[in-house]
Amino acid sequence: MTQDEALFLKDYDPSAYERPSVAVDLVLMSVIDGAPAALLVRRDEHPHAGRWALPGGFVRIDEALDDAARRILGQKAHMGDAYVEQLYSFGAVDRDPRMRVISVAYFALLPADRFAAALKADRGLTLTRIAVDWPGETGGPVAAMGEDGPLPLAFDHGDILGLAMLRLRGKIDYSPVGFALLPDRFTLRALQDVHEAILGVPLNKPAFRRRMLDKGWLEATGERETGSSFRPAELFRFKPRTA
């Protein structure tokens, strides 16, 4: 640091500019009963008390964004080891009625069984089905479905979930993101179920299986599923590509 810069910083007034607050929201998604699902928490205080929201919180003044995301992952979602990455930043001026808040959304795909401990630890959490009413990669907000219809969502979280679904639909055909929603060993039927849930359309079984096998992402385990009343299906695992 030069002497001129040191003098500038010494006299600099941070209050000269208004500063927005920064928050982190977590989009933790899975596939449940053939449909995409996301973890939501019921808000018990204003604003939007009684509505459902993504697990989130404000970034501390001495905290990096990734550190805030990991802290909220443990505190609000009760998960300590899920890998999350940035999805998008949401900064509409009126997105929060309290003040100017910019939210950085983080995103993770997890098998359904990873949510069991969180749901047991916190009765305020729910893993709810996401309903997408737009085709293909049109984009737009989505709904979170409860037993009696759409759940009321807080803030712009329908838009955040919608962007997560759009990102998934755009990537699932050319990248191996769908495997994050499966256990270590899975059937080709389970893999197709994941793709159909994300894309929202049925897929031709022979063509889908041929395409998956041709991509080189699958490795046969030599094992078969158990507990099936019919001929047990072969089990596969994801084979990461090597450089």
Give 84-96 pLDDT, tens digit per residue: 999 999 999 999 9
State residue 96's pLDDT score: 97
CATH class, domain 176-238, is mainly alpha
User: Above 60 in pLDDT, residue 242?
Assistant: no
State residue 217's pLDDT score: 93
Q: Which amino acid is at 206?
A: P
Indicate the average pLDDT of the chain.
94
Residue 176, Cα to own-chain centre: how many angstroms? 15
> Where in the chain are the domains?
18-171, 176-238
User: Above 70 in pLDDT, residue 229?
Assistant: no
Contacts 24+ apart (CB under 8 A), 180-185: 180/108, 180/109, 180/110, 180/111, 181/29, 181/30, 181/31, 181/109, 181/110, 181/111, 182/111, 182/238, 183/111, 183/113, 184/237, 185/221, 185/223, 185/235, 185/236, 185/237
Alpha-carbon torsion angle 235, 28, 139, 172, nearest 10: -20
State residue 230's pLDDT score: 75
Q: Do domains 18-171 and 176-238 have the same CATH topology?
A: no
H or E stretch covering 173: none
The residue among 45, 49, 69 whose CA lies nearest residue 57 is 69
Predicted TM-score (pTM) of the model is 0.93
Cα–Cα distance list, 101 to 43, 85, 164, 221, 237 (Å): 17, 20, 20, 49, 42
SS3 state of residue 202: coil
State residue 42's pLDDT score: 96
Q: Which amino acid is at 40?
A: L
Overall average pLDDT of the 36-57 stretch: 97
Using one digit for the tens of pLDDT, what is the confidence trace for 15-35? 999 999 999 999 999 999 999
Tokens of 45: 């205080």
Over pLDDT 90: what percentage of the chain? 91
pLDDT band at 243 (very low <50, low <70, confident <90, very high): very low
State residue 80's pLDDT score: 84
Overall average pLDDT of the 178-187 stretch: 95
User: Above 70 in pLDDT, residue 188?
Assistant: yes
Q: Which fold has domain 18-171?
A: Nucleoside Triphosphate Pyrophosphohydrolase (3.90.79)
Overall average pLDDT of the 197-201 stretch: 97
